[in-house]
A = this chain, B = another copy of it.
């Protein structure tokens, strides 16, 4: 190797240096806590899966054009997973019969899609997945939206900063049949055209609908009704509307949700169709209210038939994914992204060679108390070491020197407040912890 190796990651991917990683970790740890507070259990599966898992019911576009595919050394065709739902359905099917239902599960996989390169688009992202199995109750839909709302609130968002759009493929199929003579087995093709509608010129959408054999005006009228809550009862039977979980959760949201979540904006929007084939009825997306981020932050739906594909009894499922890219864009847009935490809390230094043995003992005490503590790796003059710690943003320098050590104490320098005092070693960790906590709650 005479040619130096390139230092950049492959196209469409990101290196997470500690500053970015600290933001990602803080954001997702808040989300884990919310999701777990609803009783969801974390799971994980391998990031390579057989291609058949997706070919069955995922999205033709993704499988044929966007997967990272390989033959392994045993001649199996594997893909880097482009989404998590087929994996979780496979796992639920594997335990069919022994799992107690409902099952509430979540995960945080790394997902890959070979998308065309464009600004703000990546080929890999980290996506939290939240799924609920074993119930056809509309309370499952309500729980999904409650979790989404609490996730956003936990990150500091306000109810006005985002909204959830909900639709129901079963209702839309019925409406397409009633208004545009679309037979049920062609509805998915129509949804496919509608899913791409926002990304292509209007003529292209009309042409595609015409090619499917339908009247574009009639089809489009179904997706652009004024207020669906007013217009749909004119096209669809009351019985059909009442049977729709999406319809019910949207129309009853304000009475039904926990008081802290009633202000969430949850609306019925026929243009939400989602790309995956496996969704059977409810589909939903969460969007930034700011037009700066037009891509959905989270999306999901109900997939009542997916587990059955594994030859196991039908097990209804509903879930959503929320990826790091659009979510962190949202946080930056609204000024609520957490600040990176990359400086140690403390560094322990020796005034002289004779005090060096004490340094490791004191550092061990601080670490034991959860303080992020470094000790010097090379012998440096104290002044230089302090200067360096200060530049790195270290909060405290602890100085072990014979005079104080003889009294069981050290010098504690607060490098942010520039003060210095003697503190007994026994009280050192608690004293530093108090000062750190005080800084954190300060504005």
Contacts and interface: CB of A to CB of B under 8 A. Distances in A.
Interface of A: 1, 4-11, 13-18, 21-22, 24-25, 33-34, 36-39, 41-50, 52-53, 56-57, 65, 68-70, 72-74, 76, 78, 80, 90-91, 93-95, 100, 102, 104-105, 110, 112, 114, 124, 132, 135, 137, 139-140, 143, 146, 150, 255-261, 309-312, 342, 344, 347, 357, 360-361, 363-364, 366-368, 370-378, 388, 391-392
Contacts of A105: 18
A70 B73 contact: no
Contact of A39 (B7, B8, B37, B344): B344
A309 B1 contact: yes
A80 B48 contact: yes
25 contacts: A1-B309, A6-B50, A7-B90, A7-B93, A14-B46, A15-B43, A15-B94, A16-B43, A17-B43, A17-B95, A18-B105, A21-B43, A21-B44, A37-B370, A37-B372, A37-B373, A38-B367, A38-B373, A39-B372, A68-B72, A74-B114, A100-B388, A139-B377, A146-B360, A258-B360
Contact of A377 (B5, B102, B310, B311): B102
A149 to B, nearest CB: 10
Identical chains bound together, number: 2
Contact of A70 (B44, B70, B94): B70
Given A143-B377, A360-B258, A42 B21 contact: yes
B114 A72 contact: yes
Contact of A5 (B16, B90, B104): B90
A68 B70 contact: yes
Given A1-B309, A33-B370, A70-B70, A46 B7 contact: no
Given A1-B309, A7-B90, A10-B76, A378 B137 contact: yes
A94 B8 contact: yes
A44 B102 CA distance: 34
Contacts of A310: 4-7
Contact of A46 (B4, B10, B256, B377): B10
B377 A140 contact: yes
A5 B309 contact: yes
A258 B15 contact: no
A377 B135 contact: yes
A121 to B, nearest CB: 14
Q: Which 10 A-B pairs have the closest CB atoms?
A: A4-B311, A70-B70, A18-B41, A13-B46, A37-B367, A7-B94, A39-B344, A258-B360, A39-B374, A16-B44
